[in-house]
Chain A
Amino acid sequence: MRWAVTGLGHGTDNAFLVIAGVCLILFLLIIGLMSYFVFRYRRSKGVEPEDIHGNALLETAWTILPVLIVLYMFYYGWLGYDARRKVPEGALTIKANGQMWAWSFEYENGKPSDRLVVPEGRPVKVTLNSRDLIHSLYVPAFRVKQDAVPGLERTVWFTADETGEYDLFCTEYCGTGHSQMISKAIVMKESEFTAWLAGTAEAKAAPAPAAPAGAELFKSKGCAVCHTVDGKPLVGPTLKGIFGKKVRVSTAGKEREVTIDEDYIRRSELEPATDVVVGFPPIMPPQKGVLKEEEIKALIEYIKGLK
C-alpha cells in the first residue's frame, strides 16, 4: 500500500492500521480457537461430550468487550472524518464539473483544465457539480472521494504534501464510458503552479485570442467519449461525413427528417434533447453555458470538415 500524500489521508491511514490490526487479532483468535477445538475434541479421541448450556459471566464478557472495541474503532474512524469537515481559511478554490465521461476543472481566474492541478502544501477546496448524472471524484493517493450530484454543490478539501502525478477516477458508475472517466491530479511546487495558472490568464488578456482548434476541443470537452470520427457509432452517432446529410430525429416524441446544417449542430450542442437522432439514447449533457461562442464555431467548422 502506498501512503497517503495528504494530511487527511494520514488520518485515514492511521485509522486503517489501528482498525485492521484489531480485526486481524480478533480473526486469528476466532480461527485459532476454532481450529484448536476441532483438533482437541475430535470424535476419534473417544471423549464424551459435555453439555454446556451457557455461561452468564463469559457471555456478558464477550458482549461487553466487543462493544468497547467497536466504540474505540468508531471513535478512530470519526477522528479522521471530523477533520474533513472544516475547510481551512484561505484555501484555493477550484470548481470541478463531472459529465459523461470527463472531468473539467476551473480555477479562480477562469483558467480551465482537464486535470486537477494543485500547489504543494496549500489547502485546496474543490466545489463539485455535475452536468448530467452522479459522478464521484476520487484521488486514491489523497484519500479523497466525493460524489458530484447534479444541481447540488458539494465541497471537499485537502492539502497535498508531495509533488507528483496521481490517478484521478470516477467511482460512481455512470454508464458506458465510466472506466474511461480517468484523469490526473498533479501536485506542483507553488512557484511552478503560479506560472501554470498564469499561463492562460495572460493569453486571455491578449487581444483576440485564437480559438483553440476544433480537433483539440473535440477531445478536451469529452465529445470523443461518445462520438467517433471514423464512421463507427458509439453511444452517440459517428460524426464522420454527417454535414449536409439527412437524418431521422425524434422531436418532442415525434419522428421527423432533418438536414444537418450549422444550426442543427449548434442546437445539438447546446440543447441536445431537442432533436435526438433515432436509435440513440437521449443522454448527452447540454453544453449551454459551458461552450463559449468561439468554441461552438470552432467545433462546427471541425465537424464540417469530417469527410
Chain B
Amino acid sequence: MANEGAGYLGTEGRPGGISSWIFSTDHKRIGILYLVSILSFFVVGVSLGFLMRLELISHGPTIMEASTYNSVFTLHGVVMLFLFIIPAAPSIFGNFFLPIMIGANDVSFPRLNLLSWWFYMAGAALALATLALGPADTGWTFYAPYSLRTGTYVSLAVFAVFVLGLSSILTGINFVTTVHRLRAPGMGFWRLPLFVWAVYATAWIQIVATPILGVNLLLVIAERVFGIGVFDPAKGGDPILYQHLFWIYSHPAVYIMIIPGMGIISEIIPVFARKVIFGYRAIAYSSLGIAGVGSLVWGHHMFVSGSSYTAGVIFSFFTFLVAIPSAIKVFNWVGTLYKGSIVLGTPFLFALAFIFLFSIGGLTGLILGALSINVHLHDTYFVVSHFHYIKFGGAGFAFFAGLHYWLPKMTGRMYNTKVANWSCLVLFIGFNLLFFPMLILGIEGMPRRYFDYLPQYSTLQIVSIVGSWVLVTGLIMMFVNLIRGAFRGPRAPFNPWGSATLEWQIPSPPQRENFEKIPEVTKGPYDFRGLR
C-alpha cells in the first residue's frame, strides 16, 4: 500500500519487507494477507469459469476435451468455494474489523490467527498443485463411488480441502472467543454491530460442521489408499452415506458463505439511509436462526438419490422454514429505507444489487425446495443458476459492497467513485445475462456438468456466454479501479460515510495499536445522532 509510514502499514521501528507481513500477528496485517491471497485465487476461479463457458460456445470440443472440461469445472468449484467465498468475508473483513468493531486491540489468539492463514495457504498450494499433476475430475462434491475410481489426483485435492477446513475451524474458534472475551466496556451483545453478530453465528457453524467434512474426506482418502470399503458398493459400502456426510457440512457451508455477506449489508444500509436499522434484534436472531435451522436441511440435496419418503418430506419442510429468517432480514433492510435520507454511495448501490440478486436466489430456492418440482429440476442448470444467485449474486456482491465500504479504511485512500458506480452496473447486467438464461435452460431440462448439449439449448447458452464476457469486463473495471485507488487514490478521511461503528472513529488507516485507550461504549452501532 502507498501509505508507507502511516499507521499499521508503516515500517517505523521495525524491519519491513515480506516477513513483516507473513509472520505478523497483527489482525489487520493478517486481514490484508487474506485480502491479497483470496483475491488472487478469485482471479483463478473466474478464469476457470470463463473458460468453461467459452467451451460451450459450439458443439463438440471447442477449446478443450471432455476430460479437461470436467477438471475445469471441478477446480472452478473447489477454488471458488473453499478458497474464495467461504473465507472471503470472515477472514478478510472479520479479521480486520471484528476486533476494532468491538473495541479490542486484537483477536484472542493472534498467533493461532496467523497459523490459520498458513494453513489456508498450504491448502491452497495443495489444491493448485493438482492443477499441475492432474486435476481431479469429480466435481467439487467428490461423490463416491466415482471419486474412488477415477485415476486423477483426488486424494491430494481432498486433502487440500481437509487442510482448508482446519484453517476454517481455527478462525471460527478465534472469533467466538474474541466476541465473548474482548468486548470493550459498555459493548453488550445488543450493541454489537450486525456484522459482528453475523461473523459470530458463522463461526459457530464453522466449528460445529467442518469437522464432519474432515472425517468424510479422510474416509475418502482411506478408501482410495487402503480400499477399506465404507462408500464403495463393490466392496459392500454405501455411496449414499457419503452424500449424507458430505451435505451435513456442505449445506451449512452455504450459510457460512452468505451470513457474513448479510452482515455486511446490515452495516451498509443504515449508514447510507442515515438512520438506525429497523429491527436490530430480529436481524441478529435471524443470523442464529439460519445457522440453527440451516443445519437440518441437508437432505434436500438428495430427494432423488433414493432416501426414504419420510426423510424427503421432513427435509423439504425444514427447507421452507429456513427461508423465514432470510426473508425477515430482507424485510428489515427494505424497512430501514423507509423515511431515511438516502445517499446513493457506491457501497449502497452494491447493497441494492445484492438485495435484488439475493431475492432471486432465495425465491428460486423455494421453488427447488418443493418436492415434486425438485424431482424435475434437481441437477439441472436451474440449480446451477440458483446457487450462483445466492453465492455470487448474494455473497459475492455483498463482498464487493464490503470492499467499497471498507477499503478506504484499510488503505487510507479513496477509489474513483464514478468508475466504481459504473462497474457495479456492468457487473449487475453481466451477472443477470450470464445466470438468468440458466434458470430457463434448467426448466427445459438441460442437465448440469454437461460438456456438450442438444441443439435446442443453443440460443440460451450463447446468451449466457455473452453474459460471462460482460461480467468479466465489470470485474476488470472494478478491480483496476480499486487497486489504483488503494495505491494512488486521494487520502480518505477517517469517516467518509459518516458511520457510527467504532472502526470509523479511528484514523484511516488505523494505527498499529487500534486503540491507545480501550473506548467506553455508550451508544448503539447505528446511532447517527450528531453524525448527520
Interface on A for B, CB 8 Å cutoff? 1-2, 8-9, 11-12, 15-16, 19-20, 23, 26-27, 30-31, 33-34, 37-38, 41-43, 46-55, 58-59, 62-63, 66-67, 70-71, 73-74, 76-81, 83-85, 132-134, 136, 138, 140-141, 143-147, 149-152, 154, 167, 169-180, 182, 235, 280-283
Contact = CB atoms under 8 A, between A and B. Distances in A.
A12 B373 CA distance: 5
A170 to B, nearest CB: 7
B320 A71 contact: yes
A212 B453 CA distance: 31
B341 interface: yes
A34 to B, nearest CB: 5
Contacts of B376: 9, 12, 16, 140, 143, 145
B306 interface: yes
Contact of A281 (B149, B312, B529): B149
Contacts of A74: 316-317, 320, 369-370
B70 A176 contact: yes
B43 interface: no
Contacts of A150: 145, 233-234, 239
Given A31-B359, A34-B352, A52-B338, A145 B375 contact: yes
B341 A81 contact: no
Interface in B352-390: 352, 355-356, 359-360, 363-364, 366-367, 369-376, 378-380
A49 B366 CA distance: 35
B305 A147 contact: yes
A171 B378 contact: yes
Nearest to B379: A171
B340 interface: yes
B444 interface: yes
The B interface, classified by DSSP as helix, strand, loop or mixed, is: helix
A49 B240 contact: no
A144 B90 CA distance: 41
B304 interface: yes
B418 to A, nearest CB: 17
Contacts of B36: none
B334 A138 contact: no
Contacts of A81: 312-313, 316, 371-372, 375
B338 A37 contact: yes
11 contacts: A8-B372, A23-B366, A27-B363, A34-B334, A42-B342, A43-B343, A54-B282, A76-B370, A77-B372, A85-B309, A149-B306
Given A16-B443, A177-B66, 17 more contacts: A8-B372, A15-B370, A16-B373, A38-B342, A41-B337, A42-B342, A66-B327, A66-B328, A70-B323, A74-B317, A77-B316, A77-B374, A138-B379, A147-B304, A173-B143, A179-B450, A179-B452
Nearest to B369: A77
Interface of B: 66-67, 70, 137-139, 143, 145-146, 149-151, 233-234, 239-240, 273-276, 278-282, 304-306, 309, 312-313, 316-317, 320-321, 323-324, 327-328, 330-331, 334-335, 337-344, 352, 355-356, 359-360, 363-364, 366-367, 369-376, 378-380, 443-445, 447-454, 528-529, 532
A144 B356 CA distance: 32
A241 to B, nearest CB: 23
Contact of A62 (B146, B306, B331, B367): B331
Contact of A42 (B146, B344, B364, B445): B344
Contact of B278 (A54, A171, A178, A281): A54
Contacts of A144: 375
Contact of A19 (B143, B340, B342, B370): B370
The 9 nearest A-B residue pairs measured at CB: A77-B370, A140-B445, A80-B372, A281-B151, A81-B371, A37-B337, A179-B450, A151-B233, A49-B275
A75 B279 CA distance: 30
Given A15-B372, A34-B355, A146-B304, A67 B324 contact: yes
Contacts of B453: 179
Given A34-B334, A37-B334, A178-B451, A48 B341 contact: yes
Contacts of A27: 359-360, 363
Given A74-B370, A80-B372, A178 B449 contact: yes
A253 to B, nearest CB: 11
A11 to B, nearest CB: 6
Contacts of B369: 73-74, 77
Pick from B309, B341, B364, B529 the residue with the most CB of A within 10 Å. B341
A43 B341 contact: yes
A52 B335 CA distance: 9
B379 A136 contact: yes
Contacts of A170: 447
A52 B275 contact: yes
A52 B340 CA distance: 9
B448 to A, nearest CB: 8
Contact of B340 (A37, A149, A152, A177): A37
B339 A133 contact: no
B139 A173 contact: yes
A288 B331 CA distance: 61
B380 A171 contact: yes
B340 A41 contact: yes
A31 B143 CA distance: 38
Contacts of B341: 41-43, 46-49
Given A53-B276, A133-B145, A174-B146, A59 B282 contact: yes
Given A42-B342, A281-B150, A62 B328 contact: yes
A2 B444 contact: yes
A178 to B, nearest CB: 6
Pick from B150, B375, B378 the residue with the most CB of A within 10 Å. B375
Given A12-B373, A66-B323, A73-B320, A283 B363 contact: no
B366 A70 contact: yes
Nearest to A47: B341
A170 B378 CA distance: 12
A173 B449 contact: yes
A31 B337 CA distance: 12
Contact of B342 (A37, A152, A154): A37
Contact of A152 (B240, B273, B352): B240
B60 to A, nearest CB: 11
B233 A179 contact: no
Contacts of B240: 149, 152
A172 B356 CA distance: 31
A62 B278 CA distance: 13
B340 A1 contact: no
B509 to A, nearest CB: 28
